Structure formats: structure tokens, C-alpha cells
Chains A and B, each alone.
Chain A
Amino acid sequence: MPVWDWGYAFQVLPQLLRALLVTLEITVLGSVVALVLGLVIAVVRRAHVPVLDQLLWAVVEFIRSTPLLVQVFFLYFALPRFGVTLSALTVGVIGLGVHYATYTSEVYRAGIDAVPRGQWEAATALSLSRGRTWTGVILPQAIPRVLPALGNYVISMFKEVPLLLAISVIEVVNKAKELGSATFRFTEPYTIAGLLFLVLSYPASILIRRLERRRAAV
């Protein structure tokens, strides 16, 4: 038996590509949750509402200080006891999305803090409403600055999707494991799965580095 069987590799490739779509779907949906929720957390925390602020701080710290795997297990196995049953895919999206929202909220916060105080004051002097000050003045300056950092978190999240095999989501690595178990040939499927990640994340990180350089040049 050869170490690498090209025929077998080409035979499993289509199935792995289909499973990759699941990985991408979770990454995209999880990113939407992480990017939107992170922004909401950052903006709400900036308002320094007494009790709410401490509460959000505690939740963010808790989520960041516990393993993602434990959070995913909790959502998948413990929540049904409280009457909330979610599909594995939903748990994956929520688990990754919320976990990463705690990181992106810090990124947004740094971007917001980097907007000079004079911008807030000019908005006040022009009587702009609070909402318009955020959407018209502060965020359009804060977000472009942090796009590279946000992009890096999206790539990290993409690479963490295989963790969801723990709750039987058939993403690309789980698919590779399945195929290997059926044929006792693991080399080809796992290698292909790894390469698929490389083929997607490497160009993405180059793109982000280019974005970073362009912003630094401005």
C-alpha cells in the first residue's frame, strides 16, 4: 500500500469540499455574530451605564477566561436541560460568534478610543444627536482603523471551526475523520483538509497584511 494514493485522494476530494462549505458557512455566520455583537458591546460599554457596565464586563471576562470547547459543550449538552435545544450548527455559530465577540469588542474599543476627543466635541458643538455622532463621525473613523485586527479574528475563527467535531458537526476535519475511519486511510483526507485550510487562510492573511500596510501609509 503506497503512502499516498492519488486515486483515493481524488475520490475523497469532492466530499471534503462539500464539508468545507459547512466550515465556511459557520465561519461566515459566526463572523456576523462576532462583528455585530462585539460592536454593540463596545458601544454600550462606552456609555458607562452603572450596573449594565459591570455586568457586561463580568460576562466578557467570563467568556474570555473559559475554553471555547466548554462553552460549546454547555450550549449543546446542558442547555436542553433548561428547555433550549439547539442544532449542532446553531450551537457552532452562536458559540464561536459570542466567544469571538468578546475579542472583537476589545478591538472596536481600541478603535473608538483612538478617535480624538475633539471629534466628539465638534459633534456636540454642532448639536448632532448621540446616534448620529456614532454612525456619522466616530464609527466611520474607528472601524477602518481596526479592520485588519478584525480580519485576523475571522481567520482565527475559521481555523477553530474543527473544534465543533466535538458536537458532531460535519465540517471538513470531521468529514476527513469519517472517511478515514471507513477506509483506514487517514493520510489523504487529513492532508487534504489541512491544505484546504492553508489555501484559504494564507491568501486571506496576505490580503489583511496588505490592508494594514495601506492604512499605515495613509
Chain B
Amino acid sequence: MPPSEPMIIFDGVEKRFGDHVVLRDLDFTVAPGEHVCLIGPSGSGKTTILRLLMTLEKVDAGTIRVGGECLSHMERDGAMVPADEKYCRTVRKRIGMVFQQFNLFPNMTVRGNLIEAPTRVLGLSKDEANVRAAELLELVGLSDKIDAHPTQLSGGQQQRVAIARALAMRPEVLLLDEVTSALDPELVAGVLNLLRDLGASTDITFLCVTHEMGFARDFSDRVLMFDAGRVIEDAAPATLFTAPDHQRTKDFLHAVIDRT
């Protein structure tokens, strides 16, 4: 991938669920190492963008490229056809995702959650994967929980483990889908601080959907404001939060910031 090429490219992407158009003719790019937050009202298509990148959904039109590779389509006999499951699996290894509901595997310990994909997918030995797991748990401050089961952890702890699990795959892109929305209020700050530290200490490209405006403001290089499946404003946080262009953005920020 040439150094100047964006890490993520959405080109004319459209996504429909039945008759409902969730994303229409969406274009945007994210540079390598950039931190981008997606904000906007519920149902504006933010989460769908992350799900398309994780190949949990398929595009109806347009293309998505990640790290120089096409994610939505593959080449077959000289023509571009929609990507199949096998192709998706190779490309999405570069992408990690953390979910609102954590989605840890409850049938495994914390250690099992952390070494599962590195051993099964990346082919690491058990020892290598265990070393990596221990390092990551230290990073997220849960070294003492390595043999715990997810159900024994608080929501905040589960989300830290989920972040460590995603990092264990050494992703180039990390997708964060409202990762603090399901947490008790007093646990939110800990997770957000962990993400701030990660953002400062790694060169991972972050794409986050969030309702935490304070976090969006100090974590991101750029903020995209969504409404009805379109980006209506794309600006540095300093600009977007203090002097938004659009009335819709102003209304949204008023509503969200007044609430908190």
C-alpha cells in the first residue's frame, strides 16, 4: 500500500435494509493512524458503517477499501464480483472490532478469549499467545483476572477484556461501536481513558461510533456528523464542536450536550 493512500475508503457506498436506505452514496476516507469519531442521531447509519467494515453486512452499491485491499469486492476472471466468505476472512484480519455488548465468549476464561483467535487464526503457539495475552491484560489493568470467567467480571472489566481480545490480533484498524453505552456511568471513564492511552501509544487507525462527546472531542483528529445516511459535516473536533456549519449539527450537539 503506498504511504499516501488512505487506510479506509468508502466510495459511493449504499446500504439498504428492505426499502429503508440506511446509507446513500457515502464517500469518505480515513488516513492511516487517524482517529475518526462518527456522531449523529440513532438510526443515522453510523453503526452500519462499522458493520460493513467488519463484513457483518454487505454493501448494496459502491466499494469499500481497507489498507489498499478491496473489502466489498474481489477479482475473479478479471472482473470485480461481490466478495465471498473466504475472501472476506483474509481481508478482515487487519480489522478488529469492540462491541457495545462486549460479546466475550462466556464458555471460555479470559485467557481462552484472548488466545483463541491468535492461535486458531494467526497460528501462534500457545506459549506465544499466552505471553501476548498477559501483556495485553497488563495493559488494560486486569492481570489478576486471567483465569476468571467473563460472567465474574463487571461490565467495565468485560469491555477491557474485549478491547484486549481485539488487540491480540494486532489489527491495523480498530472499530469501536458505542463501547461505553452498556456500562454503568461510573465505569465509563476508565474504559475511555484506556482508549485515550491506546490512541496515544499505538499507530492503529480508529473509527469510533460514540455518544460521548467529551471523548469524541479529545480523542479524534476528525469528527464526522451523520444524518439520514449521509455525512453532513466533516471537521476537526475543535471546529465541529465550537462552530458547526449545519443547523442540524448544532441542534444535535445542543440536545446531546444538554443531556449530559
Q: Interface on A for B, CB 8 Å cutoff?
A: 116, 118-119, 121-122, 124-130, 132, 136-137, 140-141
Contacts and interface: CB of A to CB of B under 8 A. Distances in A.
Interface string B114-125: 001100110000
B121 A125 contact: no
A122 B96 CA distance: 10
B16 interface: no
Given A129-B120, A132-B120, A136-B120, A124 B56 contact: yes
Identify the 4 closest CB pairs spanning chains A and B, nearest first: A122-B103, A126-B117, A118-B103, A125-B97
Given A125-B96, A125-B166, A127-B89, A119 B105 contact: yes
A141 to B, nearest CB: 5
B55 interface: yes
Contact of B99 (A122, A130, A141): A122
A126 B56 contact: no
A126 B99 contact: no
Nearest to B85: A130
Nearest to A139: B107
Contact of B117 (A119, A127, A141): A127
Interface in B54-69: 54-56
Contacts of A126: 116-117, 121, 165-166, 169
Interface string B71-97: 000000000000001000100110111
8 contacts: A121-B54, A124-B92, A125-B54, A125-B92, A125-B96, A126-B169, A128-B116, A137-B107
Contacts of A121: 54, 56, 99, 103
Contact of B105 (A122, A124, A127, A129): A122
B55 A124 contact: yes
Contacts of A118: 99, 101, 103
Interface size class of B (residues with CB under 8 A): 20 to 34
A121 B162 CA distance: 13
Interface string B211-229: 0000000000000000000
B117 A140 contact: no
Contacts of B89: 127, 129
A121 B85 CA distance: 14
Contacts of A122: 99, 103-105
A121 B55 CA distance: 10
B106 interface: yes
Nearest to A119: B103
B219 to A, nearest CB: 21
Nearest to B94: A127
A149 to B, nearest CB: 19
Contacts of A119: 103, 105
A126 B98 CA distance: 10
Contacts of B103: 116, 118-119, 121-122
Contacts of A129: 89, 120-121
A143 to B, nearest CB: 10
Interface in B139-194: 165-166, 169
A55 B106 CA distance: 35
A21 B238 CA distance: 80
Contacts of A128: 116-117, 120-121
Contacts of B95: 125
Contacts of B120: 128-129, 132, 136
A126 B93 CA distance: 7
B91 to A, nearest CB: 9
Contacts of A140: 107
